[in-house]
Amino acid sequence: MSIKCDKCKHDSIIYQRYSGMHLCKKHFMEDVERKIKLTIRKHYSVRKNETIAVAVSGGKDSSVMLYMLHKILGARPDIRLIALSVDEGIAGYRHNTLEQAKGLTSRLGVEHIILSFREQYERTMDEIASLEREKGTCSYCGVLRKSILNRKALELGATKLAIGHNLDDEAQTIMMNHLKGDVARMVRLVPPCELEGLVLRIKPLRYIPEKEVAMYAYLNGLPLSTGACPYAHEAMRNEVREMLDDFEDKHPGTKYSLLSGFDKIANVLSREIPIAKLASCRLCGQACSSELCQACKLLGKQ
């Protein structure tokens, strides 16, 4: 006999251990959508006449995010959604996800802009990865991607930049900052963190577990790839991921409590520790905390 949904008579498709609920397709989708709407309302209220840039890699997280933002805001004539994808120039990796991003934006009828490292920085990620350097490839890629997205979002007059981080990503980041004792970075994780010169980053999926994002993507015919980059081997994040997955398995709800506990502490924290005012980069003008921005530093400009 099949297991039934706790909210209706249909067959259950998923068991949420942290809530103790068996849910059918309809009620599972409703649950995900409700959480995303609540996150937006609670942390990042959308006002009239906003332009929202959405970072879309073509992997499952950003695809679900774009699909949902379009579902929630697409009917509002005063809201402009623009998908931004970044082609880092990683052979054999980005092409497929970019095609998926193109497919999705045209399916939804959302404006889509593809930015490239080659155009912006005159070199591809493959070229950067092959050079001698102090930092790992991921930190380069992350910094350069952030910078290019922020620059374009500003240029477009966007008031928000949506990033597809899910609950697992957020819980890992919080735990890593705890382990490193990086309080300044923790303050910047508190939503909404408004900094002059930086478009407000919003994370509508921060309360959705990665597995549920994948399930939602599957049920709605959205791209399923994780978008995992061939250079991705941030050692500490992998260890923290394993640790949190193990904890979640033994104590369902751990990731949720880590995030919601952090949000409570963070509110107090942000009052105690004011966020440093930003300067602008001497070379490119991007908002940053010292004379040169991270992107210019990493690219060895002086």
Binding stretches for Zn ion (CB under 5 A): 5, 7-8, 10, 24, 27, 281, 283-284, 286, 293, 296
Shortest Å, Cβ 241 to Zn ion: 31
Output 7 or 43, the one with its CB closest to Zn ion: 7
Output 101 or 148, the one with its CB closest to Zn ion: 148
Closest CA to 104 of 83, 125, 73, 75: 83
Shortest Å, Cβ 190 to Zn ion: 25
* 134, 140, 143, 144: CA torsion to nearest 10: 130
Output 104 or 148, the one with its CB closest to Zn ion: 148
List residues forming the annotated binding site for ATP.
Answer: 55-57, 61, 86, 164, 169
| Contact by Cβ (8 Å): 35, 64 | no
Output 65 or 288, the one with its CB closest to Zn ion: 288
Shortest Å, Cβ 296 to Zn ion: 3
Shortest Å, Cβ 6 to Zn ion: 7
List residues forming the annotated binding site.
Answer: 5, 8, 24, 27, 55-57, 61, 86, 164, 169, 281, 284, 293, 296
Shortest Å, Cβ 16 to Zn ion: 13
Output 148 or 208, the one with its CB closest to Zn ion: 148
Residue 6: partners with Cβ closer than 8 Å, 6 or more residues away:
12, 21, 22, 23, 27
List residues forming the annotated binding site for Zn(2+).
Answer: 5, 8, 24, 27, 281, 284, 293, 296
